[in-house]
């Protein structure tokens, strides 16, 4: 009986941690007049993030952690796009 309770507690804690990581949603913070392609990529990453959220809701979150991981990677890619725009500003 102790093992299943431990497994459930571990799953709940892992779910909460994954939710906290995925909470950083992609933002659109690149000026399209200066970096049109990067701004468009940010827009598309936001659309993909929103589509994953809709898929999670439609599937009642039965997508394991794959969607959470994908959303986290989109947020990370979005941050890298901002850094690319800042680097381009220096040249």
Q: What is the pLDDT of residues 50-83, one digit of tens each?
A: 999 999 999 876 788 889 999 999 999 999 999 9
Angle at the Cα of 51 from the Cα atoms of 49 and 56, rounded to 5 degrees:
95
pTM above 0.75, yes or no: no
Residues 6+ apart with CB under 8 A from 72: 18, 21, 22, 24
The answer to whether the beta carbons of residues 26 and 45 sit under 8 Å apart is yes
- Length of the chain in terms of residues written: 91
Q: What is the pLDDT of residues 26-49, one digit of tens each?
A: 888 899 999 999 999 999 999 999
Whole-angstrom distance, CA of residue 19 vs CA of residue 25: 11
């Amino acid at each position: 009986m102790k093992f299943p309770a431990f497994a459930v507690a571990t799953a709940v804690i892992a779910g909460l941690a994954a939710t906290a990581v995925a909470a950083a949603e992609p933002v659109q913070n690149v000026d399209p007049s200066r970096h049109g392609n990067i701004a468009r990529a940010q827009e598309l990453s936001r659309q993909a993030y929103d589509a994953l959220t809709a898929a999670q809701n439609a599937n009642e979150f039965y997508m394991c952690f794959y969607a959470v991981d994908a959303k986290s990677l989109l947020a990370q890619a979005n941050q890298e796009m901002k850094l690319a725009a800042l680097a381009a500003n220096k040249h």
